[in-house]
Structure 1
C-alpha cells in the first residue's frame, strides 16, 4: 500500500511532469474505478494541469478548476510513459486508466486481487468522501505532540489500528505503523488510553522521525522503483523470522494480523512493562 512518503514523492514527480500540460485524451479501462458516474473522465480533456496536491494517501490534480481525485487504496499506483519509452504497468498490475498529454501518458494501475483504485471528477478536492474526512497529515512537520495527545485521548483502541485510522491521522498505513511503533518501543497491541506522558512523547518523536526520514529518502526515486525502495527500508515490517536490528530478539507477526504486521516482542512493550 502506498503511504504518505511514497504518495508525496509521486505528487512531486507529477508536479514536475504535468503542471502547465494539457490533457489530450483519456481512456477508462476499468469503469468501476470511476466513482463520479455523472462526471465522465473525458471532462478533463482539453484542460491544463495547474496544481497537484497530496491529501494523506490521495492525490488531487487541479485542471483549471476541475479536479481529478486519485485514491490508490491497497495496491494502486501510477506509471509515466514518455514518448521515447515503451514502459507500461508493472508486471501483475492492471491498467485502470490512461491520461494522455503531448509529452507522455499517465497510467493509473492496480496490482491487487480486487479493485482498490478510485477516481473522482469533482469541483473541489474535499468533494471526494475519503479526502473530506481525513484528519491532520501525519507527515506534516507542524504536527505537534499536543495534537497527537489530543488524537489519542483516552481511547481504548490498539495503537496500530489507531495509527492507520485516516480520520485521526492521515497518511499512515500498515507498513509505517509497524515502523513507527518499533521506533517508539511500544507494543502495537497497547491501547492509547494506557500511554503515559513519556510514551506519548516517545511516540511523537518516532512518528515525526520515521516519516520525515522516509519522505526525504523517497524524494527523487523513480516512481517505478518506489515500492522496492519502501520495502528495502523497512526495519521490522515484512521481516518475520529475521533478527531484530536493535536487540537479540526475533521479529514476529503481530497477533491477529494474519502476517500483515510485524513487531519485536523483546523490545516493544506494553506501557508499564520492562523490555525483555
Structure 2
C-alpha cells in the first residue's frame, strides 16, 4: 500500500509534469472505484491542473476549483503516460485501469488496481474535506511536535502497531513504515501505548520522523514507475521474513493476521522473545 512517502512523491511528480496542462477528459472504466457522482467526471474537462498535494495517504490532484482525491488502497497505483497510444475511450470492466485522465498535450495518467479486492477510492469534489476519509484524518505524521505525538498516542490506548496506523491518530503511516518505525525505536509491535515510558515515546517520535523523512527523500524525484522498487529497497524488516536483521543479525520474524502481516526483529524489539503467530497460537506478550 502506498504510504506517506510514496504519495508525497506522486504529488511532486504530478506537479512537475501535469501542472499547467488542461484536462481533455476523464474516462471511467471501473464505476465502483468512483465514489462521487456530483459533479460528474465531465465537469473536469477544460480545467487546468493547478497542483497536486497529499492528505495523509490520499493523493489530491487540484483541477482549478475541483479536487480529484484518490486513495490507492492496497493494490492501486498511478501510471503517468507521456503520450497515450490510442485515443479510443476505455471499455468499462476491461483490464486493471479504473480511471484515465487525458490532458490537452496528449499525456495523462491512469489509476489502476490489481487483484480481486477492489478498494481503490476516487472522489471528484469541490473540497477535499467532503471525502470522508480525509475529513477524519488526524494530524500529519510529519507535522506534529513531540508533545502532540505523545499525547495522541496516549489518548488512543492499544497496541502501538495498531495505534500508529490509525489514520485518525496520525495520518500517513501504514503497515510497512510502522514496522520500520518500531524496529528503529526498538519497540515490540504489541507494546501498550498507555504503558510506554517518556524515553520510549521520545524514541518512537524520533524514529517516526527519521524513517519517514528518509523515505520521502529517497522517493521524491523518482519516476512513478520506480517508486515501489525504491520503497522495497529501503525496508529493513518489513517484507523480509527469515532474512537477517541488518542491525543485530537475528532472523526477522512475522506475525500473520486474517488479511495482513507484520514483521519484526526479536533481537532488537522483544528481548529475543518471539511473538506467536496468531494463525497458530495465542499471542505471547
TM-score, length-normalised on structure 2?
0.88
- Does the Cα contact within 8 Å between 1:126 and 1:132 map onto a contact in 2? yes
Q: CA shift at 1:35, angstroms?
A: 0.7
Q: In structure 1, what is the Cα distance between the partners aligned to 2:200 and 2:140?
A: 21
Q: CA shift at 1:125, angstroms?
A: 1.0
Match of 1:101 among 96, 103, 108: 103
- Does the Cα contact within 8 Å between 1:76 and 1:112 map onto a contact in 2? no
Match of 1:117 among 107, 117, 120: 120
- The corresponding residue for 1:90 is none
- Does the Cα contact within 8 Å between 2:157 and 2:193 map onto a contact in 1? yes
Work out the number of aligned pairs and report it.
264
- The corresponding residue for 2:24 is 24
Q: CA shift at 1:221, angstroms?
A: 1.1
- The corresponding residue for 1:167 is 168
- Does the Cα contact within 8 Å between 2:44 and 2:63 map onto a contact in 1? yes
- The corresponding residue for 1:50 is 50
CA RMSD of the aligned region, Å? 1.8
Q: Deviations over 1:45-72 (max 9, x none)?
A: 1111112111011111221212211111
Alignment of 1:66-81 (within 5 A): 66-81=66-81
Q: In structure 2, what is the Cα distance between the partners aligned to 1:259 and 1:61?
A: 29
- Does the Cα contact within 8 Å between 2:14 and 2:51 map onto a contact in 1? no
- The corresponding residue for 1:156 is 157
Asked whether 1:229 is paired with 2:261, we answer no
- The corresponding residue for 2:282 is none
- Does the Cα contact within 8 Å between 1:136 and 1:169 map onto a contact in 2? yes
- The corresponding residue for 2:277 is none
- Does the Cα contact within 8 Å between 2:149 and 2:205 map onto a contact in 1? yes
SS in 1 for 2:98: strand
SS in 1 for 2:69: strand
- Does the Cα contact within 8 Å between 2:34 and 2:123 map onto a contact in 1? yes
SS in 2 for 1:266: helix
- The corresponding residue for 1:138 is 141
SS in 2 for 1:36: coil
Bigger drift between 97-106 and 182-191 goes to 97-106
Q: CA shift at 1:248, angstroms?
A: 3.2
- Does the Cα contact within 8 Å between 2:18 and 2:108 map onto a contact in 1? no
- Does the Cα contact within 8 Å between 1:74 and 1:112 map onto a contact in 2? no
Q: In structure 2, what is the Cα distance between the partners aligned to 1:133 and 1:168?
A: 9
Q: Deviations over 1:186-240 (max 9, x none)?
A: 0001110110000000000100000000000111111001111111111000010
Q: In structure 2, what is the Cα distance between the partners aligned to 1:106 and 1:150?
A: 40
SS in 1 for 2:78: strand
- The corresponding residue for 1:89 is none
Q: CA shift at 1:257, angstroms?
A: 6.8
Q: CA shift at 1:38, angstroms?
A: 3.3
- The corresponding residue for 1:238 is 239
Q: Deviations over 1:6-48 (max 9, x none)?
A: 0000000001112111001121010111111233212101111
- The corresponding residue for 1:126 is 129
TM-score, length-normalised on structure 1?
0.91
Q: CA shift at 1:127, angstroms?
A: 0.7
Bigger drift between 152-161 and 97-106 goes to 152-161
SS in 2 for 1:37: coil
Asked whether 1:8 is paired with 2:8, we answer yes
Q: In structure 2, what is the Cα distance between the partners aligned to 1:200 and 1:32?
A: 41
Q: Gapped runs of 5+ residues in structure 1?
A: 87-92
